Structure 1
Amino acid sequence: MSIANQDITVVVQGPVQALPDRNMDEGITVRSLASIRKYLPGAHILLSTWEGQPTEGLDYDELLLNKDPGPNINRYRADGTADKTNNNRQLVSTLNGLKRVKTKYAMKLRSDNFLTSDAFKHLQQAFPKRASEYCFLKERVVVNNTFTRDYAKGLPVVFHACDFFYFGLTEDVLALWDIPWFDDLVYDESRKGQEQHDGFPCFMPDCTQRFWLKALQKFDPSIQIKHLHDYSPALKRISDLCYVNNLVIGEPEVIGLGLNTKFSGDERANRIGSLITYIHHLAWQRLYKKYCDPAHAIPGNLADIVRTKLLRLILLTPKRLEGALRLKKQQAKQRS
């Protein structure tokens, strides 16, 4: 069954590119909106941004101006200064936009990303079989593989799904974003002079893990990790089943997504050392074959496996040693 563009609402969320000194590609939101008109003619565009943003002249069908919740504190440095993230900002602009969607299908698209095709429509429908365990959504949701990681700092990780792009049934996309706000980390005076964050003295969970876990915990509160590298064969199996039963994971060019220059070109996130840590579409298909459809044929499977294993062996070993050294120093500071 093909998906009609008229049945899709694209929630373009985030700040609007309008000023030369904004930390976004100049004109990227204009490009984002134009790409939707090009590849999804007839789809409804809902721009969910902030009060005070200059939106004049932008090509959207519906505008939502949100109150800015501000950044949230996720870590304190040893000198007591707070590190902040925009988790709540992303959550508010995404969730408030999705709550207004009236069409059967919805897309969550950052205002600094754009479409390059409509391949995601086919992918969302292309894998009909599912396993029985950890199958939480009515249908699968297509996501980008950038930062959907198998490895971080050279070590394996779980539940590390990208938050850039979501496409699927509106009820499913909404379910993944209708999650609690992120609370500010409370400063602990008894640990003054030490770094403070969740998971300390191990590395703190990544923000992508936090978003994905909050969504999964609505369905199964037992799904938990203690820190970035909390890993076991049992956790790996649960993570893989959550990926394969609820998502379709693919590279930007596979799903039809264009990224701003911060995450593309020669930037760190797009270099081979980072790309080999991500879960590629062929690797996701291997999970699909393993857990959902043993008859599924995967093109170029063996060559991809060998290439990925070799590159990971060569390129991740130094990162693994570096990460282990940083962790050892962090733990030593706690004991001193």
Structure 2
Amino acid sequence: MIDSSRISVVISGPVFDKVKESDVDNITAKACQSVRRLLPKAEIVISTWEKTNCSGLDFDIVVFNEDPGPNINNVNRQIISRCGGIKAATREFVLAIRSESKLVNTNFLNFIDQYNLYDEKYRFLKNRVIIPASCPPRCGELFHIGDWYYFGYKEDVLNIWELSLMDDKQFNKAQDDLLYNAHRYLITTFIQKYMPLTFYKKKDINKENREVYEKVLVNNFVIIGLYEYGVRSMKYILDNKFSTQMFHYCVSYTYSDWKSLYNSYIVREGEKLQCKRPVKELFGIYVYCPLRRIVLKSLCQKIVSRVRRTISGRKKISSP
């Protein structure tokens, strides 16, 4: 396992005192404490905004970035704060997390350099970066990658985040611009540094783009799951309720999913990885998720029908 002395932990974003009214402790301070406890020799880099009060935080380096101001999903703030911190980091490896996150274990360390076969056409990084989640086609998404946690070689993590800033004027949500979303903007802009990509309208969710998405994921990332990663958000609580776990099977790739992609696109016959899914995961993907879609579709249809009847009734009343 990688010694923590080789790791910089970049904690980026605003310094949180509280994220909920029930919180009494400094949330970002908790993030720093969790790093010191689980990665005792790691370098801690705080990357935040000018004039931020960082007193009470345990860190080695602080970067005060100029705030670009809000935009769609604050994607420009994410890019600037992440890049500022990663560039300031001095160690070989970087774990990039958000300022309301804490380490609960170091499971992510086990996956670095574990998979060494590539399709060079879709390999954009020196080594794969370890991420917790990305939305799969089964939930109707392409090019939708989580922005929470990244672990890998410094140059690779920086490569992912060193992007041009988003110009909100390019996009119009009313016209089905798919990039009207921070997660899609990040991954598509990264891909376009290396190859052309057409992904703007709903018609671009097609078989060809699905294959590109999957090949980029499997050649540049290892997806190990939100529950398995070892970092948790203190703002968006990831509880162990059955319904919550089932929901994540619906909206995110699992480690088994990623290994299946690796088998499909990378590995020759006779060298396939074992990717037997746990029973709970099988139930979530093949039973819970389809039933959830049917229920939601039925509910939406009932709401639309009721609204139409209401409008029709009002028109009849108002008619002379």
Query: For the superposition of Structure 1 and Structure 2, which TM-score range results when normalised by the shorter chain?
Result: 0.7 to 0.9
- Structure 1 runs not aligned, ≥5 long: 75-84, 187-195, 330-336
Q: Distance in 2 between matches of 1:214 and 1:61?
A: 31
Alpha carbons 1:133, 1:241 under 8 Å: kept: no
SS at match of 2:62: strand
Q: Which amino acid aligns with 2:53?
A: P
Q: 1:169 to 1:45 in 2, by over 3 A?
A: same
SS in structure 1 opposite 2:96?
A: strand
| Candidates 298, 314, 334, aligned match of 2:291 | 314
Who is 2:317 aligned against?
none
Amino acid at match of 1:139: N
User: How far apart are 1:202 and its partner, in Å?
Assistant: 6.4
Relative to structure 1, is the Cα distance of residues 211 and 32 closer, same or farther in structure 2, using a 3 angstrom cutoff? same
Could you say if the C-alpha distance between residues 318 and 18 of structure 1 is closer, same or farther in structure 2, counting changes exceeding 3 Å? same
1:17-56 mapped onto 2 (5 Å cutoff): 17-18=16-17, 26-56=25-55
1:234 aligns with 2:208: yes
C-alpha distance in structure 1 between counterparts of 2:172 and 2:22, whole Å:
26
Q: Which has the larger radius of gyration?
A: 2
Q: Deviations over 1:30-78 (max 9, x none)?
A: 1111111111111110101112222112100111111211102x4xxxx
Q: 1:291 to 1:21 in 2, by over 3 A?
A: closer
In the TM superposition, what are the counterparts of 1:164-175 in structure 2 within 5 Å? 164-175=148-159
**Structure 1 residue 326 displacement after superposition:** 11
Is the 2:12–2:82 Cα contact (8 Å) retained in structure 1? yes
* CA apart distance, 1:324: 9.1
Alignment check: 8 A CA contact 1:205 1:227 kept: no
Counterpart Cα distance in 2 of 1:252 and 1:205: 24
**What residue is the counterpart of 1:176 in the other structure?**
160
- Residue number in structure 1 paired with 2:135: 149
Could you tell me the TM-score, scaled by structure 2's length? 0.83
**% same residue:** 24
Match 1:278 to one of 252, 260, 266: 252
Instruction: Name the TM-score, length of structure 1 as normaliser.
Output: 0.80
Question: Shift in Å at residue 299 of structure 1?
Answer: 4.6
Equivalent of 2:86, from 98, 103, 106?
98
More strand as a share of residues: 1
Using the TM superposition, give the Cα deviation of residue 230 of structure 1 relative to its aligned residue in structure 2, in angstroms.
3.3
Deviations 1:258-296 (A, max 9, x none): 1224242389x9463354121111111111122223524
Question: C-alpha separation between the residues in 2 aligned to 1:323 and 1:238?
Answer: 32
- Computed over aligned residues only, the root mean square deviation of the Cα atoms, in angstroms, reads 3.0
Q: Which residue of 2 aligns with 1:131?
A: 119
Between the aligned partners of 1:20 and 1:302, the Cα distance in structure 2 is: 34
Pick the aligned partner of 1:197 from 162, 165, 172: 172
Report if the CA contact (8 A) 1:8-1:105 is conserved: yes
Number of aligned positions between the proteins: 301
Q: Quick one: distance in 2 between partners of 1:325 and 1:206?
A: 28
Residue identity matched to 1:314: L
Counterparts of 2:299 and 2:204 in 1: how far apart (Å)?
18
Post-superposition shift, 1:25? 8.3
- TM-fit CA distance, 1:15: 0.8
Equivalent residue number for residue 77 of structure 1 = none
